[in-house]
Structure 1
Amino acid sequence: MIKLYRFPYSCYALKVQYLLDKLQLDYEIVDVPYADRAELVKVTGGRVLVPAIVHDGQVVVDSRTICEYLLGLTENQLVPPGQAATIWAYADWCDSILEDVLFRIATPGIAAKFATPFETALFAFIKERKFGTGCVKAWQKTQPDLIANAQVLLETTLASIAVNGYVAGEAVSYADITLLGHLAIDVI
């Protein structure tokens, strides 16, 4: 049994979860409280970031590393050798360029869903340390521009899906799973 440590809204954790589902691997979700990561730190030997998995006593961290590990556990066609460069490059693009915009769209909604004012304040504080004071409120105000930017970024992807049915061809691939994880944060 695999244990998946996650925040329910983490696009990186969602990507791992969707991959576990697609590979039909047995797993248990451990939702990490935002303001109490003690169990996560203990399990990972000091890491405070999600996702992390534990499988057969082995701890694996970082979503791409986790996904590479999971893809190696079972025979599958999610990264066919002839398409590996395209699929991994697309997944990396999702994890960087696309994630930056979608994260900014999702952040105000995520902040509003925390159970306690402390968690909301901690979430905003952590974001502001990286992106500047008032970033969460600024992203709320600029939602139309952020959404327009996301639409532009996704134009080529949507065109490929319209022609092929999937991101990187005529069958579901790891590229589709990565995209789904990123799109899901905006509806969680």
Structure 2
Amino acid sequence: MDAFQGLAQFTDSQKTLTQVIGQTVPLIDAQTSDQRKIDEASLALGAYLKMVTDIVSQASGARSLRVTHQDANCTLATETWRFCIAEKSVTVNINSQNRTVWVVTLTSADGEPTGLSDYPAVQIAGYQPLFIPELSDSTAGRYAWYYQNEHGEPLTADIAQSLAARTVELPGMQILERQDAVSTVYNYP
């Protein structure tokens, strides 16, 4: 299971629920005899507890959200992280053979990003990205990848140029911390 559905529901209804709890619960004390007031407060608290319990339950699976101590280095160094992507055919050495393959290079304008668990990559549907150390410089924020399909065949220009779907992957980025992330696309000549 995955806790994102529960978190989304909680985030969406938290303001209204907090307001209802604030209007109903303070009216209840040891001398309250109005059953309607008690039921309204109970309903509001019950809804809140149900959502929190669902999130905890959903997050308890082995492959799900974990709340852990966050290291001080787990954030991007700046509020924005600017990068550009270049794609072209390049001859690279693959298994001791020079092969002309489609290479995608992601270059950061802000230097090496911090707070990621691995190098940023551009994913192309149906292909596995393979890092090219010779064309990359992580300290400068430059990452080059070539791609292979499930049969181990490298992606070439004649196929790559017809594949539109590209996804930038930032492994390990704290997405809950960066909910305000906004992406912008520029077309460089």
In the superposition, the TM-score normalised over structure 2's length comes to: 0.21
Name the structure, 1 or 2, with higher relative contact order (CA <8 Å, separation 6+): 1
- Of the two, which has the highest radius of gyration? 2
Bigger fraction of residues in strand? 2
Bigger fraction of residues in helix? 1
